[in-house]
């Protein structure tokens, strides 16, 4: 089989020359880019027109037009300067065989921004949404066969922000068209779409978009949603990527090495190829897309247009594009200040016992609203008001209907439906009676009335509780001015409210305090918790603590500092002058306590002198207990302890009275760690066991961060040690050549047991 035989003068020769010229230009262009990733593909389509109806020579000529769309605001690559279209034939085994590659260049005049309608006065146009298109045009002469041809362009990638497919940023597009044997025989031309889809569509607004096509051959066209095809990947998008961009997983797959079949894009649930936006449908006969987009996002959509001639499918084209669903702000939104809504833009007003209503217009639109038209049907007579707000007087009980139309007769009109129910009068009211100085339940009497047939609910709110009884009885737990609210509703849904302030300031029936009895040791702080109900800080409270002291707090704390038995009394006066009192006989018992005291010697302690002698000086103590945490316990009168370490020690003496009451004295003892480091002024490293090393001596157990260094007369370091127990033996670093007799310089530093940094230097004489 022969293919791509003729292309005007000589397809092969002309194509070779074109490739050489284009390759030079493309190479310069390519090297000017840091990356060739194309996170920009919006979609495209490939169509053709048959130019030679005479197939007697065994070939047919076609003009092709491939339109590629990209996101105008994407930061991905621009359109390719030239692209390769793979030409494939389907053999008898169902395999696509690569026949040739058509390289097509792009003219600057074939790149433009897709215009869209931004004149809709009813919608605020969103920013950052736009599409560019590039058209690649070429012609081919194909042998007429009984096999199907496919012409395809492969490119990656799509926008990574696409909502309805899996891994959109790694998903490319295979823009293709097939030419069936029938299309070759009939010299068929593909349909051509009338319009590009809208650049954006509005969330939650009714969509009606025509995606119809025109077929110059008069074939019957059928429309359906379908899955766009994908090709390529992100490999080769970085110059350092070891995989070339022409690989089948690259951004520009090689047509020769990457033949069909191409995979379909994978839709992310719940989206499918038949339902790419959850709710949009396409009319199979007209290509009209309708529905309401519900979610903001970017959506890949495929539209397949099938050609039928004499009931036989002879061809199909695929439009692959992207719907951008955005939030659109309507310029005109009708709204009325109302009681409730019956539905969108449907307002309900209930007039209970009233026949007049001032309607307040709260519509959105500002100076874009040029007219108002209120129309209310008053018993068959329409009453029209053209002001922004409207006032109506209704002739009697009943239900009335009306409308408010903004910008009547214009494209941006908006209408509100109005329903007014005029109901009989209902009134809420109640009374109560009680003794103002006596705490207890209060009866409430409901005096509400209605001219309708029935009151269906009574809801009482007492602030501290609620009730649905008609005539409830309620007891308050706290005093104060109580807001009592009665809300009633009649059978028509009319709600009326009655609110009264009830001054509730009685005195408690019984005064209650905790503790009910108290036994403690002298001195004792006693908290009197006043649990009387009702009472609060607005009441005057007078406490007599029985020891000659008085208090006025609601729940006071009192210090008893003498042993004895005390009777307590409490007087209470409410804010409106109600009084009550109570005496609590022998409420408080305070027992005698000792006084703990002691001395210790010596006055100062250190790591060498760490025995402590304790001497009791307590009074009124029957027995003693000495406690030193971590050291020991003793009940001797004057014990001795050996402190095992340096640091702060807590000495506790608990003196216990014969009444059982204790008293404790605590003193802190600081045992100071001693350090006293000395260095000799000479040493004799002759291995006689006497003065063979130069090192520090003295009290060195508590030292840390120790460092000793020795230098010779030329300033060379010949010894260093961080161990206070390791000295210099007279050799270089204790292992090298023996140092000669003479004078050497040393320095030292360390941290004492109390964290003090100490350092010094000196001279040492080495004698041999």
What pLDDT shows up at residue 18?
34
Domain co-membership, 472 together with 546: no
What pLDDT shows up at residue 223?
97
Q: Residue 24's domain spans which residues? A: 11-326
103-106 long-range CB contacts below 8 Å, 24 or more apart? 103/15, 103/18, 103/19, 103/22, 104/66, 104/136, 104/137, 104/138, 105/18, 105/22, 105/25, 105/81, 105/136, 106/79, 106/80, 106/81, 106/82, 106/134, 106/136
What pLDDT shows up at residue 34?
33
Would residue 302 count as lying in a domain? yes
Enter the tokens of residue 172.
């490319």
What's the CATH code of the domain at 444?
A: 2.60.40.10
Q: Per mean pLDDT, which range of 54-68, 108-122, 331-345, 535-549 is the poorest?
A: 108-122
* Digit-coded pLDDT (tens) for 105-119: 999 899 999 887 665
CB-side neighbour CA atoms (13 Å) of 763: 6
Say if residue 27's pLDDT is above 60. no
Would residue 188 count as lying in a domain? yes
* Pair 100, 4: CB distance under 8 Å: yes
User: From CA 384, how far away is CA 390, in angstroms rounded?
Assistant: 9
Q: Per mean pLDDT, which range of 204-208, 246-250, 416-420 is the poorest?
A: 204-208
Residue with tokens 């041809």: 149
Q: Per mean pLDDT, which range of 173-177, 540-544, 732-736 is the poorest?
A: 732-736
Domain boundary among 277, 309, 326: 326
Domain co-membership, 36 together with 92: yes
What pLDDT shows up at residue 607?
67
Domain co-membership, 626 together with 685: no
Tally of domains in the chain = 6
What pLDDT shows up at residue 610?
78
Domain boundary among 326, 356, 384: 326
User: From CA 210, how far away is CA 224, in angstroms rounded?
Assistant: 13
Domain co-membership, 409 together with 477: no
Say if residue 678's pLDDT is above 50. yes
- Strand 704-711 vs strand 263-264: parallel, antiparallel, or unpaired? unpaired
Residue from 478, 439, 487, 484 nearest 463 by CA: 484
Domain co-membership, 287 together with 236: yes
Domain co-membership, 29 together with 45: yes
The mean per-residue pLDDT over the stretch 62-91 comes to 90
The mean per-residue pLDDT over the stretch 218-242 comes to 93
Domain co-membership, 54 together with 199: yes
The mean per-residue pLDDT over the stretch 368-381 comes to 94
Would residue 141 count as lying in a domain? yes
Would residue 62 count as lying in a domain? yes
Domain co-membership, 307 together with 193: yes
What percentage of residues in the chain have a pLDDT greater than 70? Answer: 93
Sign of the dihedral through C-alpha 445, 450, 455, 461: negative
Would residue 5 count as lying in a domain? no
């Amino acid at each position: 089989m022969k293919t791509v035989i003729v292309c005007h003068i000589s397809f092969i020769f002309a194509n070779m020359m074109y490739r050489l010229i284009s390759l030079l230009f493309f190479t310069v262009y390519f090297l000017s880019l840091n990356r060739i990733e194309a996170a920009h593909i919006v979609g495209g389509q490939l169509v053709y027109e048959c130019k030679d109806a005479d197939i007697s020579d065994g070939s047919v000529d076609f003009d092709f037009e491939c339109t590629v769309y990209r996101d105008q605001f994407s930061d991905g690559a621009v359109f390719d300067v030239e692209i390769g279209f793979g030409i494939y034939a389907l053999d008898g085994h169902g395999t696509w065989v690569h026949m040739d590659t058509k390289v097509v260049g792009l003219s600057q005049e074939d790149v433009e921004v897709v215009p869209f309608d931004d004149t809709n006065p009813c919608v605020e146009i969103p920013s950052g949404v736009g599409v560019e298109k590039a058209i690649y045009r070429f012609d081919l002469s194909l042998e007429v066969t009984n096999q199907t041809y496919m012409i395809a362009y492969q490119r990656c990638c799509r926008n990574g922000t696409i909502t309805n497919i899996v891994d959109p940023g790694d998903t490319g597009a295979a823009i293709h068209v097939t030419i069936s044997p029938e299309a070759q025989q009939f010299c068929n031309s593909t349909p051509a779409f009338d319009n590009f889809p809208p650049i954006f569509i509005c969330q939650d607004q009714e969509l009606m978009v025509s995606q119809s096509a025109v077929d110059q051959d008069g074939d019957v066209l059928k429309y359906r949603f379908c899955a766009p095809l994908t090709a390529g990947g992100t490999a080769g998008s970085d110059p350092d990527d070891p995989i070339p961009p022409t690989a089948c997983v690259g951004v520009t797959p090689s047509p020769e090495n990457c033949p069909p079949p191409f995979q379909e894009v994978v839709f992310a649930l719940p989206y499918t190829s038949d339902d790419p936006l959850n709710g949009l449908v396409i009319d199979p006969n007209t290509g009209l897309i309708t529905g309401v987009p519900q979610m903001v996002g970017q959506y890949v959509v495929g539209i397949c247009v099938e050609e039928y001639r004499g009931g036989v499918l002879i061809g199909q084209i695929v439009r692959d594009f992207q719907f951008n669903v955005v939030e659109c702000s309507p310029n005109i939104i009708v709204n009325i200040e109302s009681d409730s809504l019956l539905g969108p833009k449907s307002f309900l007003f209930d007039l209970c016992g009233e026949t007049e209503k001032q309607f307040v217009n709260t519509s959105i639109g500002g100076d874009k609203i040029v007219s108002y038209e209120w129309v209310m049907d008053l018993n068959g007579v329409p009453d029209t008001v053209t002001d922004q707000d409207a006032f109506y007087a209704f002739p009697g009980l009943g239900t009335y209907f009306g409308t408010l139309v903004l910008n009547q007769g214009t494209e941006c009109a908006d209408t509100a439906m109005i329903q007014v129910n005029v109901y009989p009068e209902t009134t809420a009211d109640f009374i109560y009676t009680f003794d103002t100085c006596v705490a207890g339940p209060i009866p409430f009497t409901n005096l509400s009335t209605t001219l309708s047939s029935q009151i269906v609910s009574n809801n009482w709110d007492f602030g501290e509780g609620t009730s649905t009884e008609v005539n409830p009885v309620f007891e308050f737990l706290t005093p104060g001015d109580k807001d009592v609210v009665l809300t009633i509703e009649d059978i028509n849904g009319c709600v009326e409210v009655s609110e009264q302030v009830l001054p509730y300031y009685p005195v408690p029936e019984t005064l209650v305090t905790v503790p009910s009895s108290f036994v403690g040791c002298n001195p004792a702080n006693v908290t009197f918790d006043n649990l009387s109900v009702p009472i609060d800080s607005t009441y005057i409270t007078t406490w007599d603590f029985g020891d000659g002291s008085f208090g006025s707090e609601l729940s006071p704390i009192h210090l008893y500092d003498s042993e004895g038995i005390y009777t307590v009394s409490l007087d209470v006066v409410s804010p409106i002058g109600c009084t009550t009192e109570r005496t609590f006989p022998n409420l408080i018992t305070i027992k005698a306590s000792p006084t703990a005291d002691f001395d210790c010697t010596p006055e100062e302690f250190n790591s060498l002198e760490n025995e402590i002698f304790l001497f009791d000086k307590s009074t009124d103590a029957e027995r003693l207990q000495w406690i030193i945490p971590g050291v020991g316990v003793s009940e001797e009168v004057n014990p001795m302890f050996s402190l095992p370490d340096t640091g702060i020690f807590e000495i506790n003496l608990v003196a216990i009275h014969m009444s059982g009451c204790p008293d404790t004295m605590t003193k802190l003892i600081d045992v100071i760690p001693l350090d006293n480091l000395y260095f000799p002024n000479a040493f004799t490293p002759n291995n006689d066991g006497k003065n063979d090393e130069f090192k520090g001596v003295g009290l060195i157990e508590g030292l840390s961060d120790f460092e000793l260094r020795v230098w010779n007369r030329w300033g060379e370091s010949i010894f260093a040690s961080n161990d206070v127990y390791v000295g210099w033996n007279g050799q270089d670093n204790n292992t090298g050549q023996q140092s000669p007799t003479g004078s050497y310089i040393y320095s030292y530093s360390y941290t004492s047991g109390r964290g003090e940094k100490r350092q010094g230097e000196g001279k040492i004489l080495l004698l041999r």
